[in-house]
Every structure is written in C-alpha cells, then in structure tokens.
Amino acid sequence: MKQTVYVDVLLAINFFTNYFLMLSAGKILRTTISRTRICLAAVFGAAAALSIFLPQMNTVVSCLYKLAVSAVMVLIAYKWQSVKQFGRSMLVTCAVTFGFGGTMFALWLTVSPRGMYYRNGVIYFNISPEFIIAVTILCYTVITVAGRICLQLERLSKNYDATVSNGGRAVKLRLMCDTGNCLTEPFSGYPVIVVKRSSVSKILPEHFMDYAAADKSKPTAVAPKNFRVIPYSTVSGSGFMTAFRPDKIKITDKDSSYALEHCYIAISDGFDDEEYDGIVNPKIFD
C-alpha cells in the first residue's frame, strides 16, 4: 500500500515540533533564548525533513545526516560560546528529541498505528494537525517540568561562591543552597540571603550594629542606609533579623554567573561553626 505524503503537512508539523523542541532544550540549557534564532532553526529542521523524498539511505548515512542536521540547528538556535558548550547543547537537544519522538510514537501506537511512514530518519504520520499539536504541547510541558525539577536538584547539590560589595568594600562568601530559606523583605518582596555576622562585618553599613542594638523609639536613633528588620519563623521558634541591601551581589558556580540587583543580606549568629558563610534559596536564581 502506498503512503501519500503531503508536503505542506510535513513542513508545518516539523516546523511546529522543531520549534518547541529547541525551545525546551534551550530552557534546560539555561541559555539565552532568541525566538528569531529558534524559528530559523525550526525552518531549517523542517526543510531537512524533505529528505523523506530522497532515495533510501543506509543506517549509517541516515544517522550521520540526522546528526549533521541537529548540529546545524543547534548552531542556528543558540549563540556559540565554546566547543564544550556546543557539545552540551548537542547532547541535550538529542535527548529532548529522542524523548519527544519516543513519546509521540508511543501515543500514536496507542491510538492507531496505521498511516505511519518512516524513511531516511524522518517519520511522517497521516494524522490530524490537532493531534500533533496536542502531543507537542504535552511533550513540551513534560520536558519543561522535568527540566525544572532536574535544575532544582542540581542547584541543591551545589555550593556557590559570592562576592558582596557595599560602600566601596567587598567580601567573598561561600553559600549553601537551602530550600528552607524562603525569607523575603516584607515591603519589597526581595529575597533574603542569611549570612553569618563574622563573614560580612567588613561591609556592614556605618553604625549598623549600633542601630541594631539601639532603642528605635528614641529620636536620636537614625537608621543606616538600606537597613531592614526581617521577621523569620523556624521549627525552633520565631524572631527578627537585622538586614541591609548591599550595592552589588555576584554569585558564581562552575557554569554560570548571576548578578543579583534586588536582594537583602540578613545577619545571623545561628551557624557560626559551619563551613559555609550563608544560605540561599535556589529559587533566587529564577
């Protein structure tokens, strides 16, 4: 039985799926996403699907062709940074593509296996556009959620180096991720990093400690710049911590660097014996 392949359906389906696949891979990679570049990569991928009309390729040639197409799509979609980054982008893109293809194939087999055509590494389904759109959106959602979960787990396993600058002085800190630190400054909603007092004593605002211990009801008590009182609650009790907003915070790890413009540093004496200087919630990087 001959299978009719409609070029417009083939191109439309491949463009749509390639767009969301590259978008998903970009979010997992945490790279800068350009919708224009992703669209161009999707167009190239859709055009490459026309190989379904070429003479049958052997397995080796077909695999090399697919790898070459994937490599060009990665170069188009994501800005070149290094060979290492390109290799990582290729691995993630291939993993997302295989995951999507396996899911779509399984769903299609569950619904109806008739009308499927495979040639030269390209699968064509004689199905309605509504079905492929629904499957693509489903896979995109699953991939995005899975990527976020993996990202959170990765962040929890890391410690971060931070440079905090204030008043022309700077200190280096070692921060540990802790999802239990959900503190925010009450008025602005800015996140709070809890740091041991001894680690930031050199950059505290002028008169910070004096004001923290002073009677705030006295008119002579003048608050230092960006001084805040942060309420907290733990399993062992609740209370208040004094905090300030530094001029600049830069957090780095092996792969990324984050500049936090809206963040407060709260002072604590609760973990002076720990190897790290403070705790930060991984959501602060979102």
The 10s digit of each residue's pLDDT in 100-147 is 666 655 655 565 555 555 554 555 556 666 766 776 677 667 766 766
- pLDDT given for residue 107 in this prediction: 57
Residue 225 contacts residue 216 (beta carbons within 8 Å): no
Provide, rounded to the nearest whole percent, the portion of the chain with pLDDT above 90: 3
- pLDDT given for residue 119 in this prediction: 55
Model confidence at 88, in pLDDT bands (50, 70, 90)? confident
Report which of 16, 28, 226, 225 is spatially closest to residue 132, judged by C-alpha positions. 16
- pLDDT given for residue 260 in this prediction: 82
- pTM for the whole structure: 0.47
Q: What distances in angstroms separate CA 58 from CA 117, 123, 236, one per listed residue?
A: 16, 16, 67
In this structure, the strands spanning 159-166 and 264-268 are unpaired
- In the Cβ-directed half-sphere of 280, how many Cα atoms lie within 13 Å? 30
Architecture of domain 159-285: Beta Barrel (2.40)
In this structure, the strands spanning 237-244 and 248-252 are unpaired
Residue-range domain boundaries for the chain: 7-156, 159-285
Model confidence at 17, in pLDDT bands (50, 70, 90)? confident
Question: 224-238 burial string, b = 16+ CB within 10 Å, else e?
Answer: beebbebebeeeeee
Q: Give the residue-averaged pLDDT of 34-45.
A: 87
Determine the length of the chain: 286
The 10s digit of each residue's pLDDT in 167-206 is 889 999 888 877 667 788 888 888 888 898 888 888 888 7
